[in-house]
Structure formats: structure tokens, C-alpha cells
Structure 1
Amino acid sequence: MASAFETNLATAERLLTRFRDRPLGHFIDGREVPGQSERLFDNLSPIDGGIINRVHAGNAADVDAAATAAQRAFPAWAALPGTERKRILHRVADGILARAEEIAVLESLDSGQPIRFMSKAAERAAENFRFFADRAPDAANGLSLPAKDHLNFTIRQALGPVAVITPWNTPFMLSTWKIAPALAAGCTVVHKPAEWSPLTAMLLAEIMAEAGVPAGVANLVNGLGEEAGKLLTEHPAIKAVAFVGESTTGSHIMAQGAPTLKRVHFELGGKNPVVVFDDADLDRALDAVVFMIYSLNGQRCTSSSRLLVQSGIHDAFVERLAERVARIRVGHPLDPATEVGPLVHERHLNKVLGYCAIAQADGATVKVGGVRAGEAGSGGNYVRPTLFTGANNRMRIAQEEIFGPVLTAIPFKDEAEAVAVANDVAYGLAGYVWTRDVSRANRVALKLDAGMVWINSENNRHLPTPFGGMKASGIGRDGGDYSFDFYMETKNICVALDTHTVPKLGA
């Protein structure tokens, strides 16, 4: 009987046949189409560095075709009753679950994420669509704001065609986190996925079309960020840009959209602290610390990449941590036993490994890892989970987003120093606090420069809550009605009761 690993490999080989037969194109106005230029780029495997498939590089004509299709489809989609959008979006969720295995396997192959995490990607993506589908009928609702002589009421209206630009770390789930609320609000979409992990974006486009999303409502353009992405953020038909990725890229997108006054929503980088006080439940804290930096290959924006540990327990806690890190299983992403898979691209691998030399030059210690994993010459982007100790917050390893399975441990004396160190970075996405002292937990949470704080917990997402960061970590919030605040315009309508005096001129 075949093992789960062998079954996954066989499924992968079957699925890849389609993508090897012809270059991956775009999905515009309801169908897959080739690029209008002859330029292609290689989609490389994180596992062995080989070519998975070739992809059409979107150009100005491709971007214009997609944006024009979205603009043409917008009036009818926005006018569709919310109850009908709800029905269609629930069918999208059904379609995602029907292809759950396909999504998980392709996502693991393309991004290097372990199948143990990607096996839930379809479930989370379907949940995103169902959550916003159920809110579609009430998306336009506003407030009654009566005054003495007038009645005021507000409504929300869909913004128009929007660009959704998604990253390579968990591409399928993150694309649904943006596209689902946009469609529920009545917007149309042009999606530009990351060029390092493009495969599952086409699956989502097909699923949406099969579920009854009308032609032109959800479009896909593949390509390089500096070309297709830039063209999309500059296109006059696009009214807003929702982007997940690096902070520097976000600043470029803001500049590119400025001439056409585009609305922007950014989920950007983070250098998130996890603060462990000496009175914490140290067993649970240790589990959360390990999970939140080494799961998903350390490639998630909310990873707690700085460990701040109170001085009295620092050495003992770090020793226990080092033992756990050394035992993390690195391997093929389709092996269910794998805990850390290959990083998405060789360029990213070199960036992550480069921080080991930086750490040592700054005086820190590479306590665990810091080297490539796997057989020499295998071509895979494997790295040993890494732990830096003997660090302080001024070092580059404590200030810069590494975005890999790399953790920097820093001691602190007391609550005031913990808060000061936690806040002393350019970012402000997430924070984690471990203590049994309820008052201290709340004091620290209130003082952290972070859009989200978890107390005595790892990152636990509740879809109605706001998701987003401060400072260089982003602009705006996702989740619940916070998403509709971005994808919709709020309009006030004032109705006179004919009881007020109208001013007169020239009478």
C-alpha cells in the first residue's frame, strides 16, 4: 500500500502534466488566454531548482485587456442583488473544497510549504468565501443619522475594478482573503499573483468561473512585478490596489498609484516580538514560540521573529528552545512528516542565509542552524531552522525582516524594557505576550506598537476581527466590515423635512 508521501508524489505528477503541456497564460473575460507577447518566464521548483513550467509574462496589452474586462463587467456585478452574489460565492467555496487535494499539492510544490499546513489551505480559503458571502446582502447597509430639520442616512457602494496583488508564501489562501470581500462588495478584480508561485491562482480563476462568477468579474494576469504589477497599479481603470508583500514594494505601489489617486490597502512586513515574562506558562509559551516562527517555513508576515525573554529565565528557556529547534524535521514538502520545507526561491534562500554572516559580524551567536540542509548539489532551497542568541535589538537581525525560519533571542529586565525593545523597530504588525499576570498582559498589549496583539496564544484568526498593522507594516484593515470599508465608498444622503429656512439671496 502506497504511503501518504508516495500518494502525494503521484498526485503531483498527474497535476503537473497539464502545466507542462503548454505555458501558463492569463484568465481574462471568463477564459484562459495566452499572453499577447511571446515572452515567457520559468517557474522554478523550490525542491530541486528545476523548471516546473513556463509562464506568459504579462505586458501592457494583457493588463489593459484584464482591466478593461473588469471595467466592462463592473456595472452589472455591482447591481446584482447581494443575495445573488452570496449564492455565487458559496458555490465558489464549494468548488474550492471539491479541489482541495489539487490545491494543497500544487501549493506545496510551487511554494515549498509543507503539505501538513497546505492541506488546510482549501478549507481556510473556502471559509473566507463563505464568511464574506454571508455578508454580501448587507454590504451596502449604512447608518441613520437624523438631525433637527433633516434626515441623514448612509449607504455603501462598490468602489469599482480593483487590483489584488498577492505574495508567494501562502498564495491561494491569501488571494481568497482579498478577492472574496472584493467580490462580495460588488467590485470586479484583476489578480496579479507572485511570479514565484503562480500555479494555484489559475485554479482559483477556474473555480470562480465554474461557480458562476460572470466573465470579466474576476481576471488574472501573470507576470513580473516590476512590469505587469507596475502596469496594473498605474492603469486608470483600476480604482484601488490591495497588496500583500514587502514594505518597500508597498511604497513603490503607493507612488505608482498616486497620479490616478488610487486607494491602497497594504499588508506589509513585520518584525514581530513575542514577549515571555518569567511568570508565564513556559511549556505553552515554548510551543507557541516554536510554532510561530518555524511553521510555514518562517515565511509569514505575523511570524514572531524576535523572542524577548525576561532575564531570570532567559538562559534556561533558550536552551530548551535550542533543543526543539534542532529536532525540527526538514524535508520534501509533500512528505506529511516534514515540518519545514524548502524556501520558495534560491534568491530568497541566499538572503536568509546571508543573515548568518551578518549576525556573527554584529557579535551574535548562531546557536542552531544557519546552514543549508539536504544533500550538497541537490539544488533544493533547504535551510536548517536557525536560532540566534547573544543578540541585542540594535543588530540587523533584530531590525530587518528575514522572512525565513530564523529566530533572534533577546533578554530584557522588566516590563518597561520589554515594551521599549518591542517597539524599537520600523514595523508594527503583530505582538505576542506571555504572562499569567492579567493586568500586566493588558498594560503591555495597550503599549505595543502593533495592529494585533495575542495574549497567551499563537496567531489565532477570527474572521470578523480587524487584521493589519501600524508603521511600516501596512495601511488599512481586513476582516469583517473592515474589508468593506476599503472596497466600498460610503455615501451620505440628506433629506430635508421642509421645516428649515432656506437662505435667500437677491430677494
Structure 2
Amino acid sequence: MSNQLPQIMNAEGRIQSSASKANFHTSTENPMKNAHRFYIDGEWVEPETLKKHDVIDPSTEQVIGTIAIGSAADAEKAIKAARNAFAGFSRTTKDDRLALLKRVLTIVKRRKDEIGDMISREMGAPLIMARAEQAGLGAAHFEETIRAFKTFDFEYMQGSTRIVHEPIGVVAMITPWNWPINQIVCKVAPALATGCTMVLKPSEIAPFNAVILAEIMHEAGVPKGVFNLVQGDGPTVGAVLASHPDVDMVSFTGSTRAGIAVALAAAPTVKRVHQELGGKSPNIILRSADLAGAVRAGVRRCFANSGQSCNAPTRMLVPVERMDEASAVAAREAAALVVGPPSDPRTDIGPVASATQFEKIQALIEKGIAEGAELAAGGPGRPSHLSSGYYVRPTVFSRVTNSMTIAREEIFGPVLSIIGYETEDDAMAIANDTPYGLASFIHGAQSEARTLARRLRTGSVRLNGPAWDGAAPFGGYKRSGNGREYGKFGLHEFTEIKGIVGYAGD
């Protein structure tokens, strides 16, 4: 990584800003010097036992810092702080919480580029994209939560009964590395708005952006114990958060495999489990579509963020008679994408986030070749001009059948499978023939696309490449999870509903 980004590790492995000053010193105590401490009950506290974890820059494969990995005791301490804070925070007024959200948003906007720089270092997103989209969506979700919150009815009459939406309680939040601050804010913002208290465990692969957020929460004046941050792994901290009887809800974003483990851990305490999990999204290109334009857009959408998006359109469905044309267009578009260091403004695709992810993707590319899919672009190994870093060649397979491994498993890398269909009914059957149901995409005549959208078993359907809508519900059917995020739908997830019957009586 070039020195366009701040130097973030000192000799002790603790995080610090460079001489360029990336706004690391804006609050009373700078948590970027506290990568070995946790934010609990409004203070930076030492872990019960210091166990360090290296954070790797995936573009260089070098250590860029260390964090403390929490224990069960650290998680217990954070849960206790959140439980103690809930009684008071849950009774704050809507106006008080709105003012708090606005203060947080103001600081998030001020530090947006710093957050983007950190995400680029942690998980490899191109710097321009990390600032504009990765960090930008974090700010956008606070904005959308505020808009939805202003008109959200926490109480209303239904006949003679008073319906009351109350904060669900203490929320455990377990978040991923692929869109880190985005997925954190999708949980933190509605929890704050509804009067919940929380314990956040971010991914240990991309942990430092969460530390910046903790600093922002501190500066904004979030009351002690309302927001708590404990770094750690899933089997230790995550398991305690999911199973603890003093946690009322666990909100998890990650793989379906890990989501199942969270649900099993949570089951004995019958807490609410809110999950946004994996996907294998179909992108249906109808005969009425501009095939070349739709294929080019589909390739770029699939390969954005190095293919590390749960809703990436990784299965492209095209009319079988136009397979050769679609394959050729996709191959040209993949070849035109620039794979390189995140700091280079020409880069379209940075590295994938970790060695584990790189190896998984390579194995699945090899599997696609072995199972007989036609390799149209890319293939195994790094791009030839890159000798280190977890870089994957943008890969396109054509003539894929929906029974092949590459069409069934979530690859989470820049790998596209093109599948042919005979009729619209055939396309619908292929699209729905998956254990996942997070998102789907349709390109073609708008009236036709609207009709077909209703037949797709996914939580969202995007018609003809629309702009992002932060108020639209986001979440999945089937093994893609349960519950919804974004806007008013996220607010609902963090509330319990009480009916006070006879409220209007004398």
C-alpha cells in the first residue's frame, strides 16, 4: 500500500495516526491507541487476559496492527454494562434519541474518509470505493434511520387498545468484514433510535473501523453502557453473546454456516435472532433486454467489492440461444477490469480479504473447471502482474448448469456463472432452485420484469439497475436469513409490541 494512506501501527503494534493527521484525535481519549482495549460502559478497559490477534493488509499480506481478542469474561462485562444501562436509556424521549443520532451522524460524516482509509487497509477495497461506498453507506444508513425514525409511530390506538412499540432490550451484534461499517450501522443506528443498548463484536479481519465508531459514539455523548465494543472471535465472544440470558436479541450478519451456529446457541434462551446470511443471487437477462448492456452491467455488479457481497448477482441467466454472445461480452468486460493495489486510483478490483478466502475461491474455480463449466475468462491463480497479495483473477464461466458446485455454493469472490434458459418459466425455476433467497436481478422490458419479480423467492428484486434505496427492506428468504434491515424495517426489528387492552376505557 502506498503512503497515500495513514501509517497506522507503532512499534508496540498499537494504532496511531500519521503525520498527515486523519482526525484520530477528536475525542477525549483516542481509541486508535487502544486496539488492545475494549470500549465498555463508556470507558476503554483492559481485557481480562491480553491475547493479541494480527490484522493483515490483504494487498501485501503484511501485518498492519494487532487487536486484543476478548474472552468470555470480557463479553460478560459488556453485557452487564448494557443491561444496567437499558432501564435508563429505554425511557429516554424520542427527541433525545433523535438529537443523539444527529450528533453521531455529524461526526461520522466528518470522519468518513478516515473510516474509508481504514477499511481499505483492513479488507482491501479500492480506496476510492472504500471512501465513497464502504464508508459512505455507513453515513447514509444513519441518515435513512433518522428519516424513518422521525415518522415512526411508537404508540397508536387500535380501537380501544393502545399498541406500543418498546425497545427489545440488550442487543448483541455480530458483524462481518466484507461491508464492515455498513453492516455495523445497519444495527447500531436502529438500536439507538429505538432505545436499545448493545454489545458489538465486529469481525477480527476488519476490526479497526469499529474502533473508530466507538470513538465517535463516545464523542457524541452516547450514555455509558449503551454502546459497548468487544473484539473477539465467534467461538468465544460470539458464542457468549448469542447464548447469554441477559441478551434479548442477537443480530448477526455473516455466512449461513455461522448463522446456524448462532441460532443454535440462542435457542435455549428463546431470544430473537435476526440474521442476514449468504446468497447466490440470480441475474435474469430477458429476451427483451439489451443483452450486451445488461451483461456488462451484471459483470461489474458481480465483481464489485472483489465479489465479496452477499447479494452479488453471481448466477447470470441468459437465453440459451445467446449464450455465445453473452459469454464473449462478459469475458471482454472481465478482461477490462483493473486488478491492483487498493491505493491505485485506476484499480477496479482489489484483493479478497484473507488467505482463507483466497484459498476457498481458488478451490471453487478449480472445481468449476473439473465439473465441465466452460472457462471464458480468468481462472486459477493471481493475475500475472501481481506476485503477492490475495488477488483473484476476474473469472467467468459459461455453459454452467445449476447443479454444478459453482452455481450452488456462495463463492464470495469475483467469479460469475452464466446459465442458459429456454423459457421464462425455465428461468424462474432455475432462479428459485437454490437454498438461498437474498436478492435477485432482472433486466428487460419493465412490465415483464415487474410480473416476473413476484415469482422470485428472494427478499429483494432489482429491476433494470436502479439506484441504491436505503429505505427498501434488506434481508432474505430461506437460508439467507430472517428479518429485515434498513429504514423503518430495521426499526421494527429492534422493538417488542405490547397491546394495552382497554386503554380507552374509563
Q: Common fold, TM-score beyond 0.5?
A: yes
Given that 1:275 and 1:433 are in contact with CA atoms closer than 8 Å, whether structure 2 keeps it comes out as yes
Q: What is aligned with 2:107?
A: 95
Instruction: Report Cα offsets for 1:343-362 as digits up to 9, x if no partner.
Output: 10001100001112111221
SS at the partner of 1:191? strand
Q: What is aligned with 1:346?
A: 355
Q: Which range is displaced more, 102-111 or 114-123?
A: 114-123
SS at the partner of 1:425? coil
Given that 2:149 and 2:488 are in contact with CA atoms closer than 8 Å, whether structure 1 keeps it comes out as no
Give the CA deviation at 1:135: 4.0
**Structure 2 Cα separation of the partners of residues 322 and 490 of structure 1:** 52
RMSD of Structure 2 on Structure 1 (CA): 1.9
Aligned counterpart for 2:158 among listed residues 130, 142, 145: 145
- Which has the higher Rg, Structure 1 or Structure 2? 1
Kindly indicate whether residue 425 of structure 2 is the aligned counterpart of residue 425 of structure 1.
no
**Structure 2 Cα separation of the partners of residues 294 and 497 of structure 1:** 57
Give runs of aligned pairs for residues 37-436 of structure 1, distance below 5 A.
37-120=49-132, 121-136=134-149, 139=152, 141-146=154-159, 151-374=160-383, 378-436=387-445
Given that 1:82 and 1:138 are in contact with CA atoms closer than 8 Å, whether structure 2 keeps it comes out as no
Instruction: Report Cα offsets for 1:164-209 as digits up to 9, x if no partner.
Output: 1110101012111111001101001100001111110000011011
Instruction: Report Cα offsets for 1:211-255 as digits up to 9, x if no partner.
Output: 111111111110111111111111121100111100111111111
Give the CA deviation at 1:137: 5.4
Query: How many residues align structurally?
Result: 486
Given that 1:81 and 1:137 are in contact with CA atoms closer than 8 Å, whether structure 2 keeps it comes out as no
SS at the partner of 1:144? strand
Aligned counterpart for 1:28 among listed residues 40, 49, 65: 40
Q: Which range is displaced more, 320-329 or 114-123?
A: 114-123
SS at the partner of 1:19? coil
SS at the partner of 1:86? helix
Given that 1:162 and 1:187 are in contact with CA atoms closer than 8 Å, whether structure 2 keeps it comes out as yes
Given that 1:24 and 1:53 are in contact with CA atoms closer than 8 Å, whether structure 2 keeps it comes out as no
SS at the partner of 1:280? coil
SS at the partner of 1:119? helix
**Structure 2 Cα separation of the partners of residues 67 and 248 of structure 1:** 25
**Structure 1 Cα separation of the partners of residues 74 and 161 of structure 2:** 44
Given that 1:86 and 1:133 are in contact with CA atoms closer than 8 Å, whether structure 2 keeps it comes out as yes
Aligned counterpart for 1:12 among listed residues 1, 6, 10: 6
For structure 1, the 5+ residue unaligned runs are: 500-507
**Structure 2 Cα separation of the partners of residues 123 and 324 of structure 1:** 26
Give the CA deviation at 1:86: 0.8
**Structure 1 Cα separation of the partners of residues 198 and 505 of structure 2:** 43
Given that 1:93 and 1:125 are in contact with CA atoms closer than 8 Å, whether structure 2 keeps it comes out as no
For structure 2, the 5+ residue unaligned runs are: 17-32
Aligned partner of 2:456: which letter? L
- TM-score, normalization by structure 2: 0.92
SS at the partner of 2:251? strand
1:498–1:108 CA distance, 2 compared to 1 (3 A): closer
SS at the partner of 1:67? helix
Given that 1:85 and 1:133 are in contact with CA atoms closer than 8 Å, whether structure 2 keeps it comes out as no
1:420–1:39 CA distance, 2 compared to 1 (3 A): same
Give the CA deviation at 1:259: 1.0
Give the CA deviation at 1:413: 0.9
Q: What is aligned with 1:440?
A: 448
The percentage of aligned residue pairs carrying the same residue is 35
**Structure 2 Cα separation of the partners of residues 498 and 84 of structure 1:** 31
Q: What is aligned with 2:492?
A: 485
**Structure 2 Cα separation of the partners of residues 115 and 11 of structure 1:** 9
Q: What is aligned with 2:29?
A: none
Aligned partner of 1:359: which letter? G
Kindly indicate whether residue 472 of structure 2 is the aligned counterpart of residue 476 of structure 1.
no
Aligned counterpart for 2:468 among listed residues 461, 466, 481: 461
Q: What is aligned with 1:452?
A: 460
Aligned partner of 1:19: which letter? I
Give the CA deviation at 1:143: 3.5
Aligned partner of 1:434: which letter? H
1:311–1:74 CA distance, 2 compared to 1 (3 A): same
**Structure 2 Cα separation of the partners of residues 496 and 476 of structure 1:** 30
SS at the partner of 2:393? coil
Q: Which range is displaced more, 24-33 or 156-165?
A: 24-33
SS at the partner of 1:447? coil
Given that 1:82 and 1:139 are in contact with CA atoms closer than 8 Å, whether structure 2 keeps it comes out as no
**Structure 2 Cα separation of the partners of residues 453 and 40 of structure 1:** 42
Q: Which range is displaced more, 103-112 or 461-470?
A: 461-470
Q: What is aligned with 2:19?
A: none
1:39–1:413 CA distance, 2 compared to 1 (3 A): same
**Structure 1 Cα separation of the partners of residues 79 and 330 of structure 2:** 50
**Structure 2 Cα separation of the partners of residues 374 and 227 of structure 1:** 37
SS at the partner of 1:106? helix
Q: What is aligned with 1:502?
A: none
Give the CA deviation at 1:46: 0.5
**Structure 1 Cα separation of the partners of residues 503 and 118 of structure 2:** 59
Instruction: Report Cα offsets for 1:425-468 as digits up to 9, x if no partner.
Output: 100111111112x442123111111111111115x432222111
**Structure 2 Cα separation of the partners of residues 82 and 240 of structure 1:** 21
Instruction: Report Cα offsets for 1:355-384 as digits up to 9, x if no partner.
Output: 121112211122211233256994410111
Give the CA deviation at 1:140: 5.4
